Amino acid sequence: MNSFFPSFFSFFSFFSFFSLSKDRKNYPYVDNAGASKITPWTDIAFLTDDTTKCDSNLKKQNQLPFYECVEFHDQAKTIRKHWSKHENKTACSQPGVNGEWVGFYKHDDILDKTESECAIYKQEQENLGENGKKILWAAPLVWKDVANDVFKGKACLVLPREIECLSVPATRSGYLGDADNSRETPRFQWKLPSFENDKRCIFRIRYMVTPTGDGDSEITHDNNEVMIGGDLLELAVTPKSTVFEDRSHVFEIVKRPASIPEDLKIHNLVVRGKRGNIVQTFPAVEYDFVPNRLNMNKGEAVHIQWAGSNTHKNGNPAGDGQAGDAGEGRSGTDRHNFIQLVDRKANLVAPFHNHTLVKGSQWVWSSHEMGKTENKDFNLALSLATSGYYQCKEADECARKFDNKLNDQLDNAPASFGGEVFIPGQGEFHYKCMRNDNFSNRSQKGTIVVL
């Protein structure tokens, strides 16, 4: 998600099933007659250098129905036939068929509501305007049920949001770098959906490269080397063809706890990159906090969390990257912590009495026990500084006891950290990761500004 190029189309999708074969076509997907087609993916954003594509048809791809003829054995339409040969509304509705042309919809949630309750809830959500959810009484699209000709009737559905269609950030062709002559790497900020139930999802980033040959962009190709407008790209591409490149990741979206108000804005602060120096991590990047300069308003929350691994294979003969994984701690491992600095220009971590970021903050949620109220600030800072290995100031506060065994390079701390959600006070706060900071690696620092 940190590398886009001019003349590239990119989009982000998530869902809990893999894609169909027609997903290999250009986006958005259409049949031979030009009619829109859908896939199991719920699309988040479409970034393009041709914003004329950003019409209402593209933006509503997530909310298109998948139609199928549902036939019944009885006139009351209570006993469904296993299969129908009719593939359009006219054929499904002809005399003697006893069928219904049903639209099945992709959905974020299926709510436990009757049709009348659903109608009331739909009106309530419409009254919220842009903050409301799209509610529809319709047949849920469950691909396994469609494949097995199972029809469970209609339900109260929360439809996915419309797709965000934006201009792709411009970077130097074929290079990792900053976007649009700014000091920021290319990025898309995604407002996570809110679900009634926990979801295990697959997140996909896809690049679609389509050389046009317009204007001065002369296209020549020789094996895997492509010259476009004077730039050499090593891709297996021929004129007028489209090349696809995917990156997929498994992640979970957890239902918002009752302790976190629905209207509380939460900024996600995570870690990107992989273990190693800039040469060893290429074409990825070294560790860094994202965003490494977070600007937020007073009263908003930040969720500090990260994910890691114990099994990177960066030794010879290279495995998942260049040979080697320069850094502190046990080879092949990710570790991070979060501790406030006295000043960003120095590497001096602040003693607890100078931890102004957590002092006086409102601790909203934790991935573990929070301990006594009077020790709130200390416990929050302790958890962030030890990646959750230590959680409480006093022995009788938490089930996890202090064992004095934390390795000084965090080797026995968790690789992944579910994190903390808290609302800080106003000010400018600097922080760093203590482990990933030596002569061969880029400093892993960041700043939070609360206005």
Q: Are residues 427 and 356 in contact, defined by beta-carbon separation less than 8 angstroms?
A: yes
User: What mean pLDDT value characterizes the chain?
Assistant: 84
Q: Which helix (H) or strand (E) holds 89?
A: helix 89-93
Q: Mean pLDDT, to the nearest integer, of 61-67?
A: 90
Structure confidence at residue 118 as a pLDDT band (50, 70, 90):
very high
* The pLDDT value given to residue 218: 47
94: DSSP letter: S
d(CA 118, CA 137): 7
pLDDT for the residue 430: 97
pLDDT tops 60 at residue 428: yes
Comparing 10-19, 183-192, 277-286, the range with the smallest average pLDDT is 10-19
Question: Above 60 in pLDDT, residue 236?
Answer: no
Could you write out the three-class secondary structure of 384-396? HHCCCCCCCCCCC
- Transcribe 122-141 into DSSP letters: HHHHHHTGGGS-EEEEEEE-
pLDDT-derived band at 448 (thresholds 50, 70, 90) equals: very high
* Alpha helices by DSSP H, 217-331: 278-281
User: What gap in Å lies between CA 393 and CA 72, rounded to an integer?
Assistant: 66
Higher pLDDT, 24 or 338: 338
Q: Mean pLDDT, to the nearest integer, of 118-136?
A: 94
Question: How does DSSP assign 19-40, residue by residue?
Answer: PPGGGGSPSSPB-TTS-B---S
Q: Is the Cβ–Cβ distance between 104 and 140 less than 8 Å?
A: yes
Q: What is the pLDDT of residue 19?
A: 36
d(C-alpha 418, C-alpha 304), whole Å: 8
The span from the CA of 238 to the CA of 224, in Å, is: 9
Pick the closest to residue 339 from 396, 393, 387, 274 (CA basis). 387
Q: CA-to-CA distance for 62 and 228, rounded, in angstroms?
A: 34
pLDDT band at 208 (very low <50, low <70, confident <90, very high): confident
Alpha-carbon gap, residue 328 to 306, rounded angstroms: 18
Q: pLDDT band for position 338 (50/70/90)?
A: very high
Q: Dig out the tokens for 370 from the structure.
A: 């929070």
Residue 153 pLDDT exceeds 60: yes
Torsion of CA 229, 232, 238, 242, to 10 degrees: -80
- DSSP-derived letter for residue 259 is T
Q: Which amino acid is at 133?
A: K
